[in-house]
Amino acid sequence: MGVLGQSHKETEINRIIDAVSQAIGDQRLPPGTRLVEHQLVEAFGANRNHVRAAIQRLALRRIVTISPNKGASVSEPTLEEASDVLAARALVEQGIIENLVGRASESDLLRLTKHVEKEKAAKKSGNRREIIKLSGDFHLLLATLSGNKVLAEILNDLITRSSLIIALYQREKQLDCGCHDHGEIIEAVASGNKLKAVELMKSHLNHIEASLNLSYWKNRTVDLESIFTDT
């Protein structure tokens, strides 16, 4: 029974972590949003201890900040942190691309191509939230297909933190999903041109960094229960 209890506990904690991370990733939870414990308990229908453990783990990953006086809130990366995260992401994604070239199968390339088609559809509809989600998912798919689980896990956190950076610093009305860049990266991977694929990824990430400025997302009220309903 103890083993089952532990398994249930971890499942619940991971469910909360995944839901909060996803909500941050697609910008339903903007930087600075307070994560009030009792509201999260209600929203998730979860045990208070499980919610607390999930928030503490997210804090260790620098996705959430815990303040003695204010409690937990979605992190607000400084400019220095933003620069460090983007630099780390560039290094990690270079390794992912290097692993993927020569390894990707026809099936892998088809998955990537179909994903880019979804990105194009989201861009055409002007769905900012879907654009952001699919763009991050493209990079995570590259990581998964590269076969290096550690790099994929690291990138998952970096992409979540990148979403916070984009929410804080990206110019308003920026709806470019990077579909064209993603398509070129797929072509380079398919051709087996590792150097070109790496350079295209570097250029793509540089475009993301160039789209940022000092504009902060204006404060707004966030209903935690409505965000996590049915999660």
pLDDT digits (tens, 9 = 90+) for 29-45: 999 999 999 999 999 99
Residues 61, 88, single domain; the answer is no
CA dist list (Å): 201 to 5, 113, 178, 183, 186: 44, 16, 11, 11, 10
- CATH code, domain carrying 195: 1.20.120.530
Q: Is the pLDDT of residue 215 over 50?
A: no
Per-residue burial over 113-152, b if 16 or more Cβ lie within 10 Å, else e, is: eebbebbbebbeeeebebbbbbbbbbbebbbbbbebeebb
CATH number at residue 64: 1.10.10.10
In the chain, the number of structural domains is 2
Same domain, 68 and 154: no
Closest Cα to residue 97, out of 188, 212, 230?
188
CA distance 35 to 64: 9
Residues 67 and 127 reside in one and the same domain: no
Q: Give the structural domain span for 6.
A: 2-76+218-227
* Side-chain half-sphere CA neighbours of 108 within 13 A: 18
Residue 56 reports pLDDT greater than 50 = yes
Residues 111 and 189 in one domain: yes
**71-74 and 64-67 strand pairing:** antiparallel
d(CA 177, CA 80): 24
Instruction: Quote the pTM value.
Output: 0.78
Whether residues 17 and 86 fall in one domain: no
Give per-residue pLDDT as tens, 58-106.
Answer: 999 999 999 988 899 999 998 889 989 999 999 999 999 999 999 999 9
Q: Which helix (H) or strand (E) holds 157?
A: helix 149-169
Tell me, yes or no, whether 12 and 95 share the same domain.
no
Angstrom distance (rounded) from CA 137 to CA 156: 9
- Structure tokens that stand for 49 in this block: 């201890």
- Judge if 83 and 7 occupy the same domain: no
Q: Do 83 and 181 reside in the same domain of the chain? A: yes
Considering the chain, what percentage of its residues have pLDDT values greater than 90?
65
164 shares a domain with 139: yes
Instruction: Based on the fold, state whether residues 196 and 96 are members of the same structural domain.
Output: yes
Q: Within the chain, what is the greatest distance between any pair of CA atoms? A: 55
Shared domain check, 85 and 15: no
**Based on the domain organization, do 181 and 114 belong to the same domain?**
yes
Burial class (CB in 10 A: 0-12, 13-18, 19+), 153: exposed
* Cα-based distances in Å from 10 to 1, 54, 104: 14, 9, 33
- Tally Cβ neighbours within 10 Å of residue 29: 26
Question: How much is the mean pLDDT over the chain?
Answer: 88
| Mean pLDDT of the region 186-197 | 97
Give SS3 for 34.
Answer: strand
